[in-house]
Structure 1
Amino acid sequence: MEQNYGFFTRLSMAFKMIFSGAYTQSLLNPVAAEPEAPTVEIKESNQDSALQMLALLQKEGRLIDFINEDVTPFSDEQVAAAARVVHQGVKKALSEHVTFTPVSHVAEGEPLTLQADYKRSEFQLIGNVAGQPPFNGTVIHKGWKVSEMTLPAVVEGTDLNIVAAAEVEL
């Protein structure tokens, strides 16, 4: 039986993974059967780019406004209409500043074998994970990686923590 994983199904699966705690636990407590990971250099986090991207997503798609809005009093049709506007704006902001490429070049729903040297940062194993590679499974989501990012220059003195200035009509 062919499985067709549409966008909303994958989104639902992603939310379940993230908010169930299983995903976080798998990152914090990897499966004991995995070989010891090589030494990893920890980089200091620079949140400027993240703040800049949030500002762009807010400017073009009003993403922060949408996420912070209580949508429960609105009908599904009203939420869908708002989501369409947010989607178009966010898509515009991302397409202008970020180039994404798929992690897996195997199509969703198709079989994939991961050899012992697979990059663990590129593939999240879900389901019955036991033993050692090679692992045989089915691609549920092809994944995305950023292949290029170009953010606008920031004027010196700009407070990047302000991702959307308060608007005052005069």
Structure 2
Amino acid sequence: MSDQSLPLLKRLLLAARAFLRIVQDREQAAAWIKIERQALLGRSTALADTPPDAALLLLSLLQKEGRLVDFAKQDLTRFSDEEVGAAARVVHQGCGRVLADYFRIAPVRDEPEGAQITLPPGFDPAATRPTGHLVGEPPFSGRLVHRGWRATEVRLPQVGTGHDQSIIAAAEVEL
């Protein structure tokens, strides 16, 4: 019997058992929230389909378009502030292209930075991180310092088999 053909009675019994476990055990409730969040991401985005080597692929794209690795590995003490600024502009533009081409990114919070907000009990600490002097239990009130960013879609290109993804940028030899 496939998971999709479970009879209604079995689904109701499963829901009742899950309900009781969630009510009785905070860890089970937290695990359920994580499972639900991952299921929602899988339905609404391509995040669930991202290949395991996606980090290396992304790094190679940032290197190709924005020379990010070259910039980060460069000893900048030898250069003037003007030269560093000019290089940063190239990195910024290229990396911005990668973000625009391969990701849909949205703010985590809709309020403008600087707005007073309240974090209710049960807020998601992965999405909103309180900083400063944290005392007691929520609700917490404070000033929004950064809206945060959330990937709502990932469209990384497919990589051919046999491609060594650990090669972020090939060595170049001028002949």
State TM-score, norm by structure 1.
0.74
- The size of the alignment, in residue pairs, is 133
Is 2:155 the counterpart of 1:145?
no
| Residues 50-86 of structure 1 deviation map (CA, whole Å, 9 limit, x = unaligned) | 0000000000000000000000111100000000011
| Of 68, 76, 79, the match for 2:81 | 76
Higher relative contact order at CA 8 Å, sep ≥6: structure 1 or structure 2? 1
Q: Which residue of structure 1 lines up, in the alignment, with residue 8 of structure 2?
A: none
Match of 2:57 in 1: 52
State how far apart, in whole Å, the 2-side matches of 1:60 and 1:166 are: 16
Please identify the structure whose Cα radius of gyration is greater. 2
Could you tell me how far apart the structure 1 residues matched to 2:159 and 2:52 are? Answer: 14
Whole-angstrom distance in 2 between the partners of 1:87 and 1:79? 12
Per-residue CA deviation, residues 112-140 of structure 1 (Å, 9 max, x unaligned), is 10100211110111001010110101100
Structure 2 residues without counterparts, runs of 5 or longer: 1-25, 39-50
Is structure 2 residue 120 aligned with structure 1 residue 115? Answer: yes
SS of alignment partner, residue 110 of structure 2: coil
Distance 1:166 1:60 in 2: 16
SS state at 1:72 partner: helix
Task: Report what 1:160 is aligned to.
Answer: 165
Give the 3-state SS of the residue equivalent to 1:101 in structure 2: strand
- TM-score normalised by L of structure 2: 0.72
Identical columns (%)? 45
The structure with the largest helix share of the pair is 2
Q: How does 1:1-170 map to 2 (within 5 A)?
A: 38-39=30-31, 47-170=52-175
The separation in 2 between residues aligned to 1:104 and 1:110, in whole angstroms, is 11
Please report how far the alpha carbon of residue 87 of structure 1 lies from its aligned counterpart in structure 2 after TM superposition: 0.5
